[in-house]
A and B are shown apart, each in its own frame.
Chain A
Amino acid sequence: MKSHAKESLDALVAAAGRIMLGKENEIRLALACLLARGHLLIEDLPGVGKTTLAHTLARVLGLQYQRIQFTSDLLPADILGVAVFEQKSGRFRFQPGPIFAQLILADEVNRATPKAQSALLEAMEEQQVSVEGETRPLPTPFFVIATQNPASQIGTFPLPESQLDRFTLRISLGYPDLHAERELLAGEDRRKLLHDLSPVLDGTQLQALQADAGRVHAAEALLDYLQALLVFSRQSPHFAHGLSPRAGLSLLHSARAWALMAGRDHVLPEDVQTMLPHVAGHRLQAAEAGGDAQRLVALLQAVPIP
């Protein structure tokens, strides 16, 4: 079962890798996030392929895909949907918003006002939306990829810590390396390739994989290590505040998914360490002014494995 899982996941990564050149690791991280039933935050400069990654994943996974471009005038109703009066029947009919899809790309989420942001984040957390007093479930699987420009860019509303904590992983893509960039420049049009891409999995298979990921074994020794990390972040004077229990769960779930992708039925400390920068990076704040989260992650990485 597990080797079968690894095969299909490898096939997924290979298919996506044909579009996202030289970004295999990032694809794997995104996939791990999806398998952990989490949501992904991609933070990077414009034009490095954030949108392409989201779109590619939707294609190879065979998921319904919606893209929401966040702008400063975006309203919650633009995301969730709105009840429209239908003259023919003389009744209000709910017109679902773009959030009613399996894979949502929330592009440049930090350009919208906090009001619009929180509409998305609440939907992420609850996996349902309440509009006009009626609760409507969102489809499963439900996976949000939000992209964010670095906060230094003009005209942004940085997500507050409480909102950041809801993203299981944060990754950045970075520039392609020389080889990949040459291929990108010389090769075929990505958009055409994307269009030709056929799904590798269907919805049931994806849900089966998610269930598999949940069954990956985390031994006592592994949980000891994980708790040592959490305790360290809460005790060390360098941290403004420790990692939340939700961060701990995110770390465990994503490490499980990572182990599944490596074809193992148990989690190793290495899996935790691989996920650690992506789980902790956006959640930590240095106690002293001007301290950066990178250093804090490095401190966590140095916590001995019990």
Chain B
Amino acid sequence: MEHLRQALAWRWRQVERPQLWLLVGLALALLPHVGRLPWLLILPAALLLGWRLGFELKLVRLPSQMLRWLLVGLALAATWASYHTLIGRQAGVALLVIMLCLKLMEMDRPRDVAIVIGLSYFVVITVFLFDQSLLMGGYMLLVVTLLTTALTAFSRASAKLPQRANLRLAATLLAQAAPLALLLFMLFPRIPGPLWHLPSDGGSASTGLSDTMAPGNISRLSDNGAVAFRVRFAGETPPQDRLYWRGLALTHFDGRTWRNPNETRRGLDVSYDIEYTATGAPVDYTLTLEPHQRRWLFALDMPAGAPPRSRVSEDVEIIARDSVKTLRQYTLRSYTEYRLGTGSAPRDFAYLSLPSGTAPRARILARQLRAESSDDADYLQRVLDFIRQQPFYYTRRPPLLLDDPVDEFLFDNRRGFCEHYASAFTVLMRAAGLPARVMTGYQGGENNPLGDYFIVRQSDAHAWSEVWLRGRGWVRVDPTAVIPPGRVENPADLERIDPAYAARTRETPDWAKRLWRQMGFGWDRVNNAWNQWIIGYDQGAQRGFLSRLGLEDVDWQRMVGLLFGGLGLVVALIALQLFRHRPLRRDAVGEAYARFCRKLARRGLPRKPAEGAQDYSQRVIPRRPELAAQIQHITLLYQRLRYARAAPRDGLRHLKQAVRRFRP
């Protein structure tokens, strides 16, 4: 055992350090793709990396040329088998990864190394096609540092420097590249729309709201804390109970599932004018939507228009031209007090349709209640009273509904969450001949006191109803909100159902919880800033930034001019710094002496970098004979401190003092 350990340790020492840097850097660059790419490709990639490491450990030999050709063929076949294509985002990345790992099998000349390192950088870029978060950015910076270290280690391999020196050089290089990267980022001309027009692939899952809703099929409402979008209000924040974030209207019901018809009406890209009367003050806000892979956008009920590259549908949904695959930011105006569609009754029969045979008991109840009511508005109120008075409970874990979800919910178990209530309520409305639809979206949101913006999470997803009443138009009704607080199973849900009650009864959290919450807000603030300034930096943001610099209406030609001008300036500054080349001084003695040199340099007598202290003093004294004594004193002290065997007592203090008093 001990023998084996020693043998391995010996082999480990044999591994060339540059190769090690590269293998570690490459492995870490590939790590985020694990789970994103199929195992059919990830496993061979890992195997090839291991093979190369084994070769470096002198345990195995590299494959022959024949075998390499065979492996290339297998890799192509595996990619094809996984995606049925070799291009596109996922297949392209997969092909890059596997071929790069294959290149490790024939990496023996400097040229091969250069190719592998260059492609590794490219793999780092591909990670951002899938994940643009701040954490991933930090991780990738680490990987880039490792790869750059490999690059410096390879190019200076013959110098046999300690590996820390290579790491330091790589870090210095990256730090020097930072201003150039910043400049390129800010001034490189942006094109409107998503940057990546790669063929989309079906495999990527969507998050967030769905365009169908089937209460009773889900036995558990997820508590997903992921951010759906963030909102910054330009003026005052509307009260919490008006924060209904309108998403999709679900108009088609088949007895079990509510559907949105937009997907089927895709070709019909007609934008509707929204005819409504605003009765309150406008609310302006900027919304930053996390990518959810679908086409719809969210807006505060009721939006006054649609952002660019999107349209308004008949049901006042905002549908974007392309699905939201990257972070999307838009500014909108909404009115929280409005009257919509007050004119004629909606023509579309869909708002009234109920599939025959479904919910017989609900129809009876509707007929009964309608007969008792004076008008439609009274009927609506009676239905809400029914929900309030009968023992309906709000729960995140409702029982599964089997045959007729609406009837079973309304009359048998009476336990559910917003979807159940919205669905049953809308059915009851339609059964009495009132045009109604289910609206899905989000409700509420959490104010981040550290950044003065709202965070709306997936757990804020909500469903409610819209009912058309003669003379009042489409009215938003949230049947979930009428459940008394006592019938809410989980106190946490009160925040949504009855925020005022929840605020009165909320316990004061202890300091640890408060701190945790505060840290959560802080982290979200940082993420929000990242999204706003880095990911959301599109053409508009770029124009805004330039106009703040006093440059209005910059077309792309001038932008390129600015870009190159800026790059030239930065390079010139770096070059100037290099020419001056003030050597790094980390110790106190050197620091004090450097100060002395700077003082003389300001008088036109700079020390050359390769000039020793003695030579310097001998050159300077004839020019400034009146300073001879001081210069000699300082020079001698410095030389003693730096080069002599035993430093004079209090030498450093004396040196510092002498330099301080030295006034050329």
Residues of A within 8 A of B (CB): 217, 219, 221-222, 231, 234-235, 265-270, 273, 301-306
Contact = CB atoms under 8 A, between A and B. Distances in A.
Given A219-B644, A265-B644, A231 B639 contact: no
A267 B159 contact: no
Contacts of A222: 643
B609 interface: yes
A231 B614 contact: no
Contacts of B156: 235
A269 B612 contact: yes
Contacts of B158: 234
B135 interface: no
Given A217-B645, A219-B644, A305-B612, 14 more contacts: A217-B643, A217-B644, A219-B642, A219-B643, A219-B645, A235-B156, A265-B644, A266-B643, A266-B645, A267-B643, A268-B613, A268-B639, A273-B612, A304-B609
Contact of A266 (B583, B615, B644): B644
A273 B159 CA distance: 22
B159 A305 contact: no
B507 interface: no
A221 B586 CA distance: 12
The DSSP consensus for interface residues of chain A is: mixed
Contacts of B639: 266, 268
Given A231-B159, A268-B639, A305 B645 contact: no
Given A235-B156, A304-B581, A221 B642 contact: yes
Nearest to B583: A304
B610 A305 contact: yes
Interface of B: 156, 158-159, 161, 581, 583, 609-615, 639, 642-645
A67 B161 CA distance: 45
Contact of B583 (A234, A265, A305): A305
A303 B158 CA distance: 19
A305 B608 CA distance: 9
Nearest to A272: B612
B643 A231 contact: no
Contacts of B645: 217, 219, 265-266
Nearest to B156: A235
Contacts of A217: 643-645
Contacts of B615: 270, 273
Contacts of B611: 305
A258 B639 CA distance: 16
A99 to B, nearest CB: 38
A301 B615 CA distance: 13
Contacts of B613: 268-269
A26 B551 CA distance: 68
Given A221-B643, A222-B643, A231 B610 contact: no
B640 to A, nearest CB: 8
Contacts of A235: 156, 159
Contacts of B643: 217, 219, 221-222, 266-269
A222 B614 CA distance: 14
A270 B639 CA distance: 11
B647 to A, nearest CB: 10
B202 to A, nearest CB: 53
Contacts of B644: 217, 219, 265-266
A237 to B, nearest CB: 11
B366 to A, nearest CB: 88
Contacts of A273: 610, 612, 615
B612 A270 contact: yes
Contacts of A302: 609-610
Contacts of A301: 610
B165 to A, nearest CB: 9
Nearest to A219: B643
B610 A304 contact: yes
Contacts of B581: 304
24 contacts: A217-B643, A219-B643, A219-B644, A219-B645, A221-B642, A234-B159, A235-B156, A235-B159, A265-B644, A265-B645, A266-B645, A267-B643, A268-B613, A269-B612, A270-B612, A273-B610, A273-B612, A273-B615, A302-B609, A303-B610, A304-B581, A304-B609, A304-B610, A305-B610
A242 B472 CA distance: 91
Nearest to B158: A234
Contacts of A305: 583, 609-612
Nearest to A216: B645
A217 B639 CA distance: 12
A221 B593 CA distance: 14
B496 to A, nearest CB: 65
Nearest to A259: B643
Contacts of A267: 643
Across the A-B interface, the 8 shortest Cβ-Cβ residue pairs: A304-B609, A217-B645, A270-B612, A269-B612, A266-B644, A219-B643, A270-B614, A266-B643
Given A221-B642, A221-B643, A222-B643, A268 B610 contact: no
Contacts of A221: 642-643
B344 to A, nearest CB: 84
Contacts of B610: 273, 301-305
Nearest to A235: B159
A37 to B, nearest CB: 21
A72 B556 CA distance: 77
Contacts of A268: 612-614, 639, 643
Contacts of A231: 159, 161
Nearest to A302: B610
Nearest to A218: B643
Contacts of A304: 581, 583, 609-610
Nearest to B610: A302
B651 to A, nearest CB: 13
B614 A306 contact: no
A269 B158 CA distance: 26
A234 B643 CA distance: 25
A151 B655 CA distance: 51
Nearest to B584: A306
B68 to A, nearest CB: 34
Nearest to A231: B159
A273 B613 CA distance: 12
A219 to B, nearest CB: 4
Greatest chain B CB density within 10 A among A234, A273, A301, A305 is at A305
B597 to A, nearest CB: 11
A222 B449 CA distance: 57
A233 to B, nearest CB: 10
Nearest to B155: A235
B78 to A, nearest CB: 43
Nearest to A230: B159
A306 B156 CA distance: 20
A220 to B, nearest CB: 9
A254 B619 CA distance: 25
A303 B583 CA distance: 11
Nearest to A301: B610
Contacts of B609: 302, 304-305
A12 to B, nearest CB: 23
Nearest to A217: B645
Contacts of B161: 231
A305 B612 CA distance: 7
Nearest to B642: A221
A234 B156 CA distance: 10
Nearest to B160: A234
